[in-house]
Structure 1
């Protein structure tokens, strides 16, 4: 396994303090900054518009993503909303039919209000892609691997098909710049929920938008200030600290995931595994081409339904039932009732989300403990009633 950007993330903000030489950058909590003279503002005047702590994180993320610049937002959905501000009234957005539930909710709501038009398509179905491109969309939204079914689409091929007149945006949250860099594959903008792998400790909510060109970065920056969507300095400080350990964390995430997938492949309670690292996964070859690794997210379908899912999650100790992903702790999620609950039942069905689907965010705990936990939970699924939860000593 070879991660991208082996050293840059570690150096994020280190030794950049020109005033006192602090090795780690200081936290600038000031909401405003003094002008040098009348009509002579300094580099910073008001923290919504610009803040030194936030700029350190933005610069580090831009370097990791090979971007010209970018903005750090207060949430991941804030980053999605920020991108949509670049569009004219009534713009056509082509988005994946199985995108993240929060993105789906925002796009459909704006569509219903008449602010934009949305065409949800299966981005692995090239007949649908060509039909959508023929409508001359303003924006192509790409999410790969998808949430929660880990579908993989060809970023370069999609961007080339869209052409230069379409704004091409990739949500890179599931992999982080350590494993995938969409701008090098043709994207104009990269979106992150920095809450996930970039921060990696489940203690900060945030987002980011990184732009391929300086002109696009300037637009994103202007809109971020205009709508007041920028992140707080303290959140940026914590996220930058998390970013410095991205590569070492990711190594352990990936090693654990490989072992867990091998275990699940052999378990009789598992009906199907969705993971690009499996050679029979439809996106395996594309993932090999555009990703540095297959990632630390996976989903699987139980032989059973909602009741059996309940038995499993209530017999786990190391896997916490919670939303979000990418933290050092392992999480288990039921997309139909959690992350994608905003989707109508028919939309869930079309996206392939059913009652037996479970998503795992594999943490950095000892792999043997995680596997033992899953073995315990699965052994009581379909076999025995739920017993005591605290079984791991």
Structure 2
């Protein structure tokens, strides 16, 4: 099936008891397994069936089947948040004494988890400034490497093909955070990536009304991650959130097409504006990663970043005078959002780490929604006129 068809039909069958087309929301904490012998078999993993919603729920299972199909994965597991996804992956696939590598920058929460929390478990964490830096200077002891193909918030492009090639040579597990591009535009598993993850809060949901995380990949790895995420950490996605995310992903292709069109127009407007010092958007031919995304993905995404001379003061003036863009730290919603990453999403990083990653005080991040691009451009124009 083509992607739009998968988004609608994968993992969804009429309810066997009622014929309902939408997957029911199973609001139950526990499930009756009938007999003691059946309970013993289910807990031993010998018989299929549900036991307790922390470890599995029919609403979540239907969503997992859909997401696995959309990613081209053997299996998927849904969890409570994007941070639950990344922490479960790393804890499931590494152990004390291992080395984890990541390509700077990443989402601020991921950065804080890796630098400040993971190291307490006796795991070495090393950052690299680019894909070429990782290729040239990687450690043969790296057990797991993590990156975002379009980085948050600088929109630097990382060539996943280079990371995968090195990881195969040294036996490292590859983990790609595909939140910005989504499986509609980019399917990392097809390039040989082992595990793909998302903050499902963002584009997959698209409506800004849930917190969610998604992990997909080959069966044995996902089973290990599922055990850590659900049984040990205890971070399941609730059935109501699973229902809403399943509803959201059905319109993902339609929404992404609208995001792509508007983001391209907004980026081109900003690139030509005299008060904008620099624009970061892979869809601009002058962007250093333009050709990589063109070669490996189906579009350039809906995120745009810009730098303004004048640092935080100029950024604040722009942000405080926007009327259609809400100041908020999420992304991927129908509504356009704007934020100052250095003081919000990436504030937990040290000033030195932010500078190294290019998260400057003059950087503004825009999540372009599905509004008419001309209206968004008019809003940006009037705010820029005040600088």
TM-score category of the 2 structures, normalised to the smaller one: over 0.9
Alignment of 1:93-132 (within 5 A): 93-126=100-133, 128-132=134-138
Return the alpha-carbon distance in structure 2 between the equivalents of residues 196 and 362 of structure 1.
12
Match of 2:44 in 1: none
In the aligned structure 1, how far is the partner of 2:74 from the partner of 2:300?
27
In structure 2, what is the Cα distance between the partners aligned to 1:124 and 1:30? 46
Change (3 A) 1:13 1:124: closer
Corresponding residue of 1:6: 4
Q: Residue 72 of structure 1 corresponds to which residue in structure 2?
A: 78
* Partner Cα separation in structure 2 for residue 111 and residue 221 of structure 1: 19
1:320 aligns with 2:326: yes
Q: 8 Å contact 2:153–2:365 — kept in the other structure?
A: yes
Aligned to 1:388: none
Regions of 4+ moved over 6 Å: none
Seen in structure 2, the aligned counterparts of structure 1 residues 111 and 72 have a Cα distance that, compared at 3 Å, is closer
- Any idea what SS the aligned residue of 1:90 has? coil
Q: Partners of 2:311 and 2:189 in 1: how far apart? A: 40
Could you tell me which residue of structure 2 aligns to residue 169 of structure 1?
175
d(CA) in 2 for partners of 1:16, 1:207:
26
Look up the match of 1:361: 367
CA distance in 2, matches of 1:176, 1:111: 26
- Matched with 1:17 is 15
Unaligned ranges ≥5, structure 1: 382-393
Tell me the residue number matched to 1:185: 191
Q: 1:154 aligns with which of 150, 156, 159?
A: 159
- How far apart, CA to CA, are the structure 2 residues paired with 1:215 and 1:353? 37
Aligned pair 1:292/2:290, yes or no? no
Aligned twin of 1:139: 144
**Greater share of residues in helix:** 2
Partner of 1:387 in structure 2?
A: none
Matches within 5 A, 1:85-100: 85-86=91-92, 87-100=94-107
Q: Match of 2:226, SS?
A: helix
Shift of 1:334: 0.4
Unaligned runs of 5+ in 2: 40-47
In the alignment, what sits opposite 1:274?
280
TM value normalised by structure 2: 0.94
Q: Report SS of the residue matched to 2:294.
A: helix
Aligned-pair CA distance for 1:114: 4.5
The answer (yes or no) to whether the contact 2:10–2:69 under 8 Å persists in 1 is: no
State the aligned residue count.
Answer: 375
State the TM-score, normalized to the length of structure 1.
0.92
Which residue of the other structure, out of 327, 335, 354, is the alignment partner of 1:329?
335
Shift of 1:32: 0.6
1:33 counterpart residue number: 31
